Structure 1
Amino acid sequence: MMIEEERHVDRGYVASSVRLADGAITALGWVLGHLRRGPVLVCPPDLKSLASAEEVRQATAIVVIGAHSGLKPWISAFRPEPLTSAVISVSDCLVSDPVVWTAMESFTDVINSGTGLAHPCDRALVTEGLLDLRRSGHPFDPDELMAAALRLNWRGTAAWDLRVLATQLNAGCGAGMR
């Protein structure tokens, strides 16, 4: 993780640039998690940093500077209020296939919300469920799954992990994950 510039402004924390490298999620959570209550600014934003920012308990708001269409899962899940005239349109339907939405609700009911997909049993259950969906003719979109997970109150990093898993399964990397 690299924070290019930081300063305290009226007891608020400003990071002009937060970049995450693989494995730096904990560092971001630790750095931002020990701050006073207030808004968290994410600039430039990416899905992984937004997922981590969702877990900052002291955050009273998440302000995204430089929003772009690559953030659609997060925007779809939370429908943030745009502070500029630039609006990123998202579908009213969070998940296009109702069977996939039902599967997401089922996953939410059975996995440990505290660990998300970090626990091998929960990861295996969700992996097999996603493979079953695909085998029965219900393809899934990783961005839609992430948006659904966020809407269903999954931890931000668990929603990110689900998106990564779904991307791997769609790319054919899931054959050895059964």
Structure 2
Amino acid sequence: MNKRLSWVTILGMAPIFAFSAVATVAQPSPVSSTINITCNTDTSSTPTAIATSSAQGSARNITMISFLPQYFSTQDAVQNCQNTAKILQGLYKKGRAHYLTNDKLKAQPVVCAVERRGVGCNHYSAQVLFALDAKVNSSQALYEMLGSDFKQSQPPDSRTVSRIYVDIKSKPWWQRLF
């Protein structure tokens, strides 16, 4: 009787497990695998890391970071843009791109990708995207370089904010791609 009861219990629970599995698979992913991050190096514009999706038969672009001429030479802007796009694409594929932040490493201002707030660019999981000139305020530079979908409503106060965190995972920017 015990054996029969256990089979009845298992068979009775099967639809619940199946429904749970289908519900889990059917959940939309906030960062779709169809998102590609590339560097647009059109000679008539500023090198820009963009997120692109070609879902539903149309391509849409969202500007992530523009490598502005006040911070980079033309050659450095192109190189940094290409490296940043490559690193961010790899992090997105692994599900590890959550925030952009700024920091100083060995007295050099840098911008990096981190998995959570409170982590600096010297953390083992951080990925440095690019370095800035030693005299540059990296918080202000990062804010100015961001695409409009990633900017806060107010720029950081350069006198009180030493590090900003830009959410690139959970913001609804990716929804505009579809």
TM-score range, shorter chain: under 0.3
Greater share of residues in helix: 1
TM-score when scaled to structure 2? 0.27
Structure number with greater Rg is 2
TM-score when scaled to structure 1? 0.27
Greater share of residues in strand: 2
